[in-house]
A and B are shown apart, each in its own frame.
Chain A
Amino acid sequence: MPQTINGCGTWYYGKNNLVSYPGVCRVCGRQTTLSSYDTRLFAVVVMIPLVPLRRLRIIEQCTLCTRHGVMPLGDWQRAQHRADESIAAYKAKPRDFQRAFDAMKACVEFRNLQLFLQLAPEVERHLSSDPKALGMLAEAYGLFNRTEDSARLLHAVLGLKDEDQTREALAACLLKLGRPDEAAPYLEHVAAKGIPDRVDALFQLAQAYQVKGEHEKALAAFGQCEAINPAIADDATFMRLKAASTGRLGTRTAVLPGQIMKQARAAAGRRKFMKVAPVVLALAAVAYLALAWIEGKNQRVFLANGLSRPYTVQLNGVSYVLQPTSTMKVRLPEGDVSVAIVGAPPQVPAETLSIRTPFLSRPLSNRALVINPDRTAIFRRTRASYSADHGDSSQDQAQSTFSGGEALQQFDGLDYVFEDFPRSISMSSGTRAVTKDGLFLMDKAQPLAAASMLMAVADQLGEGAFTRIVQRHALLEPEAAEFIMLLHRAMKPREMADFLRPDLGRRPIRMHWHRAYQSAMSESGLDEQAVREYGAMLKGEPQSKDLVYLAGRAMLDIDQSLELYHKAVEGDAPCAYAFYSLSGYHLSNGEFHEAAMNAERALHLLPGDTSVKWQWTRAAVADRQFDKALDAVLGGESAPLPMCMPAYQDEAYIRTLQGRANDASEVVANVRLRFMQSPEMAAVLARQIEAQNQYCAGDVTGFSQTLAKSPVTNDLFKAHLSNGDLTAAEQDMKQGGQEVEAVHHLLLYIAALQHDASEVAERHLKAAIESMTKGSFEERSYAAALSGKGGLPVKNVLRLRELPEQKVVILTALGLRDPGSREACFAMARKLNYDTRFPYLLLKAALDPQAKP
């Protein structure tokens, strides 16, 4: 048969000498029109005939299934020629049976109906008394589906020679013509003689009766079949058809045997399916369960290290080395898994995690199990959108969620786990957009410093997780001072003190740890206890300069404190932090040169310490050592965001102090260039620096207008306060969200007094006092002084350690509040009001009301 694929292949073109007649297709067995014709086979491309191949004769092509016989046209023509010869030979001797047989065979073999129809009447006429010839002719008519002619001839044969075979053939013809009543008499001999190998004829008779709806006669015929050949009862087809008539006995409902058999085959198919399907399903289920079991024994688990140092962790006794801020894929059996960080402090004990996933959904679930032994890793789950309109993906940051702080986390529905989103993916046609979920570990590749990142996502992590992460960082990375500082944010002072206390005995002394502890104790109101504790420690180790310093730091009496500081810096191996604290003391008391000297010494001993560097910068600026201060500041600009932001601000400020306003403006451009990848942050910083430059230049209006565009609440507060818009400034304070510092209240107090808003001033003074009452010893002392309820004498209050920019505000407020101490407070405040940045002009106006702005 010719075939084409996408219109290319071979095909027939042309139909000559077409002969069509109804018949039964020899392939599909259906009644249809059969066509024979001459044609040519072509090689075609897109159904266009290109290359003629050969000429063919198509023989009895079925219109339904298109199957047919085919032979070369030349052979066909030769066959017809030979058929003509045979016919001619027959015509020469028309009563010769053998010649008639040969001639008919020649016509029938190649299905030449025309020739046959020419020949048949002659044979019938000349051999009308030869039953064999007539029988053969009847058979030939039957091949061409001319059943009527076939029946007629068989009648004639019967008249000449009554034989069982002829009767059966005639009965078959009559049954084909749908005349079972006429056929029945010709099959009586089968039942009468009980001929077992002819029982099929009776079976056909029974089916013919069924088609007519004559079920009684059909059942009689079925009964005869069984009587003649009892084994037929074992035939399922027979029994089925018999049952069909039995069920319709008394009705004239036609039964189509073909339909019955089709239904039976379909039912058998369904039964087989119902037998096979459960087995297949069972096997599939077994395979699936086996997979689930295997997966349970080899569960994919990711180990994540959130620290910035490597460490070894043991899982069920097997060691794994985790690199800093990285992940590792391992396979573990589900169940209880013991997790122990090798060399961890006692506050980080080994723990047992339960890794369990639903057994049945295991193979199908997109589940990622992550073990974070240190509990400091922060995970970001991000959804990326892929669109058919654009080439790349777009990661929708708004749909990022953060989590962390747990030893074991389970994430479902992930497409990419700790791997980057591909730049593009393939989608099925018709799909315009696809979203994919990915899980990432936040690491130092991010532009923000670790502590700042933590702060940025603290709200999304939740209080508990944030606290856990900070604590774990502090325990596992005690040298990372920024996390110790975050403890203030994460914990209440007393809790923080309790958390830090167990490690106080660790040697060598972790200075940040102790300093944080002392701050926590002071904020908890446990200063006396702290003094005792450090006194005891010092007693045990009197040679330790660090302890001398720390004991001094804990002291409430300033002179005693200073004495210990000086002791700590004497001789060999002085304590750097003692220099640092001395610098702080001198700076907060307006002794800028001494402050700068001590800060320089501290920096010499701790060149890498950020807080020491910062102290040195401030002291140098206060001491007007601008060049040295600038060097320190420029070094600080290489720190990651947001640690570098104060450095840029300081650079601009120092250049302003040096009288290089243009250079100060250039800092803005540098900021924009440096933080191109974080344009929002760059914009904020640039705005702040610009505003700062304007303020330093005395342009308060410009300062207010510039900062009024800032999204940062603190900037807005400054802008409104500078403008004298106290109400707006109050609003800004409330919108800040976090607890308002006492300094802000005092600034509002000062501004309110300047604007004669005594009620506002009183309110904020009370708020400031309330805030400071909960603070450190120094803050409580200031609060007592502001409230006028006893406390330290003024000269002691003036000597208290505090950041200059805060002390100046406190002393100004104190002076305004207490006329008795005004002169002393204002004198110190004037000294400390050296930084010309906000709120310099506000304070100056308060300190020297007569002075022109």
Chain B
Amino acid sequence: MASSDENRRARLAFLESEARTRPRRHALRLFAIVALGYLYPLFLLAASFGLILLVMAIAPLAWQSMSGEGMIVFGLALFALLLVAAAVLQTFWVRLPVPDGHPLRPDEAGPLRAMIEEERMAAGAPRVHHIHINAELNAAVAQRHRFQFWGPRTNYLIVGVPLLLALTPGQFRAVLAHEFGHLGRRHTSFGAWIYRIQHTWQSLAAPFARARRMRALGMGWFVKMYAPYLHTGTLALRRLHEYDADQRGPKSEGKEGTARALIAISWAGYRMGASFWPAVVRESAADPIPPADILGRITQLFASAPRPEEVRCWRARERAARTPVTSEHPCLADRLEALGCRQVLDYESDDRLTDSLSASLAAEDSAIGLLGDCRPRIWALANATWKATAIGRWRHENAVARGIMERLAIVPDGDPAQSSADREWEQIQYKARYAHPDEAVAILKDFRTRFCDHASSSFTLGRLLLDRDDEAVAVDEFETAMRHDSGYIAPSLYLLLEYYRESGRDQEADAIRVRLEAHERELALARKERLLVKRRDRFVPHGLSAEEAEKVRSIVHRYPQVRAAYLARKQVRLFSDKPSYVLAIRRRGRLMEDRKSSKRLTDCLHSQMEIPCAIAMLNKLPRGVRKRLIEACPAPLFDSAE
């Protein structure tokens, strides 16, 4: 069982305290963790070369007794061992991808380069070899070694265009100062080393996870196991680095300037997450293609004044937040506290904040101007890249919306077989999903007054309320949804877990995590229960509508090997609100029964079924099961006349 978030927080608190008060002891601890990471690769190397040495050592003994042919075999064995050693060495060679984003050409973005150079020199940081631009609200530094783990380093600075739009040049300078603070030589070399080591292992995890069998067997499993362990072990020190990097703000701005930059970033992120992106995603209902100029939209967002209640919600959230247990970056409140600027967040009046938050930030005042003449090119690239990244999810959302509209078009008043709640839900769900949140909430609340037990509406309302931080009501809605439809258990719990973790509320997050784990275990059992037909299974008539039954029949009809098919509903113990069916088919007899072709047939049928259905060969079922199944379905769903 995973360790609880509370335990992890307690552990992290201990480690942070140790890092502050007993730095040497903490350094030793980290050194041991890092050394452990090198032990396994060294062990692999030692084992493979050790085998070679062993074979060489016993060569004299073997030589005495061997004939000429035996020596050739010995030579081949030695060669094979050398190949194994080479293969082991090769597993260490994994190509780390170049950081994402579009590289700036050397002659582009002069002002940006100048600012970068100034802050780099001030921080005493190594040279930045490449500047990449992407479409994220973030800035980061990355390093790549020439030879995977070692060798000369190439430094990358990745800057997001939205970040440039969200910050003033001064604030952006503070961000640069922070990033270079990580790499600066004034940083303790050990700390910087740990920082780099951790990021290297983190970077390795993905390529090794994708690697082929040899690499996966050799190093992949170890990287998968070790990288998270190293991540947790070094988290305390890395957080301290963040605090330390915050301290190294630009002299011109001072600590308050850094604080403002942090606030601006957090605020921009909140605005984008809470209102901007949801609004953009809602457009997918009507438009099959994402917007062409997302950066323009972001510019408009930052150039527009926020609503006062948005500021209040954000501030309330940040004041109550704690650093998530998995996050390297402390929460805003902690960072401001470290800078001695916590009071900026605590002011009752918004006046102090209005300067930096309530006011709009026009593009010409933002740091986007640092791009200089290359701005059009970068703008187009970043927009196109974002669009290409978003298109997959966009298509999905658009398809869902279209599906809803098409169903409405086919049955405008709803399926008479459905309940009134479901019929009305069919009418309103499009708006509930894709209208403005205020309008959607109103619609849903109105629906809920009439149909308080409707699961889908409960879930949708709960999600909207949670986005607004209306937690108590959202939780109630989720519980209602989970109570009435087991299909909403996992989504609801995931949303709640994420919400609590983001705000560092470990106790609540732990409770949700435990529930989620229990649910996943049950899901696994339920899956087994539904896919297999067992001796003690009980069946009832399938209860499908004529249309649905006809769909199943038409699918079976396409398979000439099937003589007859019986469909029944299986009585399941777990998640009984979700029906499960069994389709038993009788196929044509053959002299030599081919197990492979039977499996192929059941797999094909299974893949085409729209209802959750287990496929079984009637003659392979135990007699009792067969009897009960036919009792539940006396008339075959399909019976071939041939």
Which A residues are closer than 8 A to B by beta carbons?
A: 71-72, 74-79, 81-82, 102, 105-106, 109, 164, 193-197, 227-231, 279-280, 283-284, 286-288, 290-291, 294-295, 297-298, 331, 363
Binds A, one of B76-84, B122-130, B524-532: B76-84
New A-B contacts (20) at CB < 8 Å, excluding given A82-B558, A288-B75: A74-B588, A77-B560, A78-B640, A78-B642, A82-B560, A193-B292, A194-B292, A194-B384, A195-B391, A197-B395, A227-B384, A229-B384, A229-B388, A287-B79, A294-B56, A294-B60, A294-B63, A298-B63, A298-B64, A331-B63
- In the docked arrangement, what's the CA distance between A319 and B59, Å? 23
Interface residues of B in 55-86 (CB under 8 A from A): 56, 59-60, 63-64, 71, 74-75, 78-79, 82-83, 86
A287 touches B78 (CB 8 A): yes
Distance (whole angstroms) from the CB of A234 to the closest CB of chain B:
9
Contact of A297 among B60, B71, B102 (CB under 8 A): B60
Q: Interface residues of A: mostly helix, strand, loop or mixed?
A: helix
Chain A residues with CB under 8 Å of B380's CB are: 227
Chain B residues with CB under 8 Å of A196's CB are: 384, 387-388, 391
- In the docked arrangement, what's the CA distance between A298 and B380, Å? 72
B448 interfacial by beta-carbon distance below 8 Å: no
Chain B residues with CB under 8 Å of A290's CB are: 56, 78
Chain A residues with CB under 8 Å of B640's CB are: 78
A109 touches B64 (CB 8 A): no
Contact of A75 among B56, B391, B561 (CB under 8 A): B561
Interface residues of B in 437-451 (CB under 8 A from A): none
Given A102-B554, A195-B391, A197-B395, check contact A230 B63 (CB 8 Å): no
Q: Can you report 21 residue pairs joining A to B where beta carbons are below 8 Å apart?
A: A71-B560, A74-B560, A74-B588, A78-B560, A78-B642, A79-B560, A82-B560, A105-B558, A193-B289, A194-B387, A195-B289, A196-B391, A197-B395, A227-B380, A283-B82, A283-B86, A288-B75, A291-B74, A298-B59, A298-B60, A363-B75
- In the docked arrangement, what's the CA distance between A230 and B86, Å? 38
A76 touches B71 (CB 8 A): no
A228 touches B384 (CB 8 A): yes
- In the docked arrangement, what's the CA distance between A53 and B232, Å? 65
Given A75-B560, A197-B391, A283-B83, check contact A230 B385 (CB 8 Å): yes
- In the docked arrangement, what's the CA distance between A288 and B72, Å? 10
- In the docked arrangement, what's the CA distance between A79 and B74, Å? 61
B140 interfacial by beta-carbon distance below 8 Å: no
Which residue on chain A has the smallest CB distance to residue B384? A230
- In the docked arrangement, what's the CA distance between A406 and B288, Å? 97
Distance (whole angstroms) from the CB of A811 to the closest CB of chain B:
68
B560 touches A291 (CB 8 A): no
- In the docked arrangement, what's the CA distance between A164 and B392, Å? 17
B381 interfacial by beta-carbon distance below 8 Å: yes
B82 touches A230 (CB 8 A): no
- In the docked arrangement, what's the CA distance between A298 and B59, Å? 9
Of A71, A102, A287, A298, which is in contact with the most chain B CB atoms at under 10 Å from its CB?
A287
Distance (whole angstroms) from the CB of A53 to the closest CB of chain B:
9
Q: Interface residues of B: mostly helix, strand, loop or mixed?
A: helix
- In the docked arrangement, what's the CA distance between A307 and B292, Å? 103
| 5 A-B pairs closest in CB distance | A196-B388, A78-B560, A79-B560, A75-B560, A287-B79
B59 touches A294 (CB 8 A): yes
Contact of A291 among B71, B288, B289, B561 (CB under 8 A): B71
Which residue on chain B has the smallest CB distance to residue A102? B554
Chain A residues with CB under 8 Å of B64's CB are: 298, 331
- In the docked arrangement, what's the CA distance between A303 and B362, Å? 99
A106 touches B558 (CB 8 A): yes
- In the docked arrangement, what's the CA distance between A291 and B71, Å? 9
B239 interfacial by beta-carbon distance below 8 Å: no
Of B288, B392, B558, which is in contact with the most chain A CB atoms at under 10 Å from its CB?
B558
A230 touches B381 (CB 8 A): yes
Size bracket of the B interface: 20 to 34
B560 touches A76 (CB 8 A): yes
B557 interfacial by beta-carbon distance below 8 Å: yes
Chain B residues with CB under 8 Å of A230's CB are: 102, 381, 384-385, 388
Chain A residues with CB under 8 Å of B554's CB are: 102
Which residue on chain B has the smallest CB distance to residue A86? B557
Contact of A231 among B289, B292, B385, B395 (CB under 8 A): B385
Residue interface bits B173-217, CB-to-A below 8 A is 1, else 0: 000000000000000000000000000000000000000000000
B642 touches A286 (CB 8 A): no
Distance (whole angstroms) from the CB of A748 to the closest CB of chain B:
61
Distance (whole angstroms) from the CB of A58 to the closest CB of chain B:
16
Which residue on chain B has the smallest CB distance to residue A197? B391
Of A72, A76, A194, A228, which is in contact with the most chain B CB atoms at under 10 Å from its CB?
A194
- In the docked arrangement, what's the CA distance between A71 and B292, Å? 51
- In the docked arrangement, what's the CA distance between A82 and B561, Å? 12
Which residue on chain A has the smallest CB distance to residue B63? A298
Of B78, B79, B560, which is in contact with the most chain A CB atoms at under 10 Å from its CB?
B560
Interface residues of B in 555-581 (CB under 8 A from A): 557-558, 560-561
- In the docked arrangement, what's the CA distance between A193 and B287, Å? 11
Residue interface bits B352-391, CB-to-A below 8 A is 1, else 0: 0000000000000000000000000000110011011001
- In the docked arrangement, what's the CA distance between A228 and B380, Å? 9
- In the docked arrangement, what's the CA distance between A230 and B133, Å? 13
Chain A residues with CB under 8 Å of B78's CB are: 287, 290-291
Of A78, A195, A227, A363, which is in contact with the most chain B CB atoms at under 10 Å from its CB?
A78
Chain A residues with CB under 8 Å of B289's CB are: 193-195
- In the docked arrangement, what's the CA distance between A195 and B387, Å? 8
Chain B residues with CB under 8 Å of A228's CB are: 384, 388
- In the docked arrangement, what's the CA distance between A287 and B86, Å? 13
- In the docked arrangement, what's the CA distance between A105 and B559, Å? 12
Chain B residues with CB under 8 Å of A105's CB are: 558
Which residue on chain A has the smallest CB distance to residue B89? A279
- In the docked arrangement, what's the CA distance between A670 and B132, Å? 110
- In the docked arrangement, what's the CA distance between A82 and B86, Å? 60
Chain A residues with CB under 8 Å of B392's CB are: 197
Of A71, A228, A286, which is in contact with the most chain B CB atoms at under 10 Å from its CB?
A286
- In the docked arrangement, what's the CA distance between A363 and B78, Å? 14
Which residue on chain B has the smallest CB distance to residue A227? B384
Chain B residues with CB under 8 Å of A71's CB are: 560
Chain A residues with CB under 8 Å of B63's CB are: 294-295, 298, 331
Chain B residues with CB under 8 Å of A79's CB are: 558, 560
Which residue on chain A has the smallest CB distance to residue B290? A196
Which residue on chain B has the smallest CB distance to residue A297? B60
- In the docked arrangement, what's the CA distance between A195 and B391, Å? 8
Distance (whole angstroms) from the CB of A1 to the closest CB of chain B:
14
Distance (whole angstroms) from the CB of A785 to the closest CB of chain B:
69
Distance (whole angstroms) from the CB of A491 to the closest CB of chain B:
43
Given A283-B82, A290-B78, A331-B63, check contact A75 B588 (CB 8 Å): yes
- In the docked arrangement, what's the CA distance between A76 and B557, Å? 13
Which residue on chain B has the smallest CB distance to residue A300? B63
Chain A residues with CB under 8 Å of B56's CB are: 290, 294
- In the docked arrangement, what's the CA distance between A15 and B323, Å? 75
- In the docked arrangement, what's the CA distance between A297 and B292, Å? 75
- In the docked arrangement, what's the CA distance between A76 and B56, Å? 64
Chain A residues with CB under 8 Å of B86's CB are: 279, 283
Of B60, B63, B288, which is in contact with the most chain A CB atoms at under 10 Å from its CB?
B63
Which residue on chain B has the smallest CB distance to residue A233? B102
B558 touches A231 (CB 8 A): no
- In the docked arrangement, what's the CA distance between A704 and B588, Å? 109
Which residue on chain B has the smallest CB distance to residue A101? B554
Chain A residues with CB under 8 Å of B75's CB are: 287-288, 291, 363
- In the docked arrangement, what's the CA distance between A102 and B550, Å? 12
Distance (whole angstroms) from the CB of A745 to the closest CB of chain B:
59
- In the docked arrangement, what's the CA distance between A34 and B387, Å? 42
Given A194-B292, A197-B395, A228-B384, check contact A109 B83 (CB 8 Å): no
Chain A residues with CB under 8 Å of B292's CB are: 193-194
Distance (whole angstroms) from the CB of A194 to the closest CB of chain B:
6
Distance (whole angstroms) from the CB of A147 to the closest CB of chain B:
26
- In the docked arrangement, what's the CA distance between A81 and B557, Å? 11
